[in-house]
Amino acid sequence: MNQTFSQQLSAIRMRRQSQKVVAPATSHESPMVEASLMCRERMQEVIEGSHRVFVESAPGFSLQRGFYEGSYVIGSGADEWRLDRVGHSSKYYSTVTFYLTPRLSERMFDVKCKMIVRNRELESAEWRVQLEDQDMEAFRQFAEDQFCRFAQGYFAKDDTVAMPVVSNEDATIRVWT
């Protein structure tokens, strides 16, 4: 690697780190921030539970977490290669993703669920969760409904078939459809 290039990247990173300013939470915001984190943790447990149940039917899906434009994002996604009617292969991406956006002034989380089934975007759905919601039963029902809606699209018949996968264990060919 070029040493000058490496030095340039280090300098850019150092400038960016020196520009970060963290605003301290005021004393009246701290309990609300704590309540927000606890609520997000409860929602994450619900989504992860739904993911675990879904993966029993679709083992190729993995759980992803991160942040995007002020939202905590948690989703279940998979890439797959499929063959069309004439034998051409294409890579497809499918995901069910929840965007959890805190609204501290309203003591709520806005939740948006976006779905993509084999590169085709489905209609999104929205929900709101109060920070004080301890049992998460209504949110659990919303999350399960979204995974079911996603499964209906994902397992629906289409014009492609899954490409065969050769198992390392016994060299047999399995087809996931």
SS3 call for 92:
strand
**Tens digits of residue pLDDT in 98-130:** 999 999 999 999 999 999 998 899 999 999 999
CA-based nearest residue to 54, from 163, 156, 166, 149: 149
Q: Note the pTM of the prediction, 2 decimals.
A: 0.74
Rounded distance between C-alpha atoms, residue 73 and residue 14, angstroms: 27
Domains in the chain (CATH in brackets) are 29-156 (3.90.1150)
pLDDT category of residue 81 using cuts at 50, 70 and 90: confident
Q: What is the pLDDT of residue 18?
A: 63
SS3 call for 145:
helix
Q: What share of the chain in percent tops pLDDT 90?
A: 53
Do 154 and 119 touch, CB atoms closer than 8 A?
no
CA-based nearest residue to 116, from 84, 143, 149, 150: 150
Is the predicted pLDDT of residue 22 greater than 90, yes or no?
no
Q: Which has more pLDDT, 137 or 20? A: 137
**Tens digits of residue pLDDT in 160-170:** 666 555 455 54
Query: Mean pLDDT for the chain?
Result: 84
Q: Beta 89-103 vs 108-117: how paired, if at all? A: antiparallel
